[in-house]
Structure 1
Amino acid sequence: MNAAPADQIRLLDLQAIDSRLDQLAHRRRTLPEHAEIDKAGADHTALKDLVVAAQAQLGDTTREQVKAEQDVEQVRARAARNQQRMDSGAVTSPRDLENLQHETASLAKRQGDLEDVVLEVMERMESAETRVTELTARLEHASVVLKEAETRRDAAFAEIDADAAKVQRDREVVAGAVPADLLKLYTRLREQQGGVGAARLYQRRCEGCRVEFAVSDLNAIKAEPADAVLRCDNCGRILVRTAESGA
């Protein structure tokens, strides 16, 4: 393949632009905010699950308290009815009166036991309410941390994308001036060689693979026509000659 020396040198400009675009893309992928967002998102999800679980526990405890208080109220109401019957003199049978007194005493013990249950449930409910409050506050803080990280990431994205858009416009101008066949070869080699398709021959060294050429190789290069598109024997990249090549 042949191409004017100026077109070959233009490949170095294109390579520099493409390397800059690669750097911007790498920077976009490796922003520290990505790790922050991943951690903050995981923390937020875990806390959200804990809040849901704590709220469910609080709901169960609240229903348990309502049930316990209803049980106490039922026993209290029955004991009051029994006392009212005894006080009214409506029960005249000694046996019935004895049974009623015995039941009233049992109800009093039962009421005491149930009131202890109510107190125990109230303590657990207070603890559950405290846990919901604490976890909710932590979840709100986690939401703020996540949002701040996302905001910083988006601002970095905007800056990088603006730079990339400008560099891409410059690339279009330079690439448009490179012959199609030379551009096609460069593009293919760039894909195969880790992003570098053309390298300068600088002071006997290929700047793509950093290999230094022997004198005999340099003499062979010097013998090639100026418009010959050369390839590095070591890395296969387009080897662009300049005034500083030493060949």
Structure 2
Amino acid sequence: MLLQHDDTTEGGRSLADQAFLRLQDRLILLDIPPGSPLNEARLSEEMGVGRTPLREALKRLESEHLVVTYPRRGTFATTVDITALSEISQVREVLEPLAARLAAERHGGAARERLLRLRDQLEQPAAEEREDTLRWDVAIHRAVYAAAGNAHLETTLTRYGNLATRIWCVAADRIPQLQEHIAVHTALLTAVLEGRDEEAATIMLEHIRDFEEQVRKVL
């Protein structure tokens, strides 16, 4: 599946925004391996954007700690900092349940149709590959952030969620319960859509704690 950022089309975004979003997901899902160089000419050709919007995108990615630029050496994907797991989880354990609660209070708000689509797709039986499972996780969390209706909260959680996903990707091949971890999303989306705010917050908190526990078992 393709990651969903919002309900607008790419045509409504600037070229720099399009490049940022596409590179962001390739970096967090490790399609661009940690430590590997980013060749501007090749990326410009692959994505059909000029050097100026691409460089704007790379600057934004650097501020998100997904790439790093060294003078006279170029731009590289950052390494995955496993030691940051505890600090990232501490932030997410506070803010992710808040986002779920706010989203439920608004019954999904402007993102309601997006949440409904995701729940319907989740309920369809499919043999998901590991990579697809991880994409589901990212897409659903981002939809809940959007449904909370707080742009500052959404920006903060997207940043920390991206960093957590990179750690998740490093560990995913060794986590036997990966599919079960994702399965709770149906209950989460239902609680949000039906306005059960405390239940949504509780499910999200348990989900985040399970994430850290599963990763720690294999790292």
Range of TM-score over shorter length: under 0.3
When Rg is computed on C-alpha atoms for both structures, the one with the higher figure is: 1
Higher relative contact order (CA 8 A, sep 6+): 1
- The TM-score, its normalising length taken from structure 2, stands at 0.20
Could you say which structure has the higher helix fraction? 1
- The TM-score, its normalising length taken from structure 1, stands at 0.18
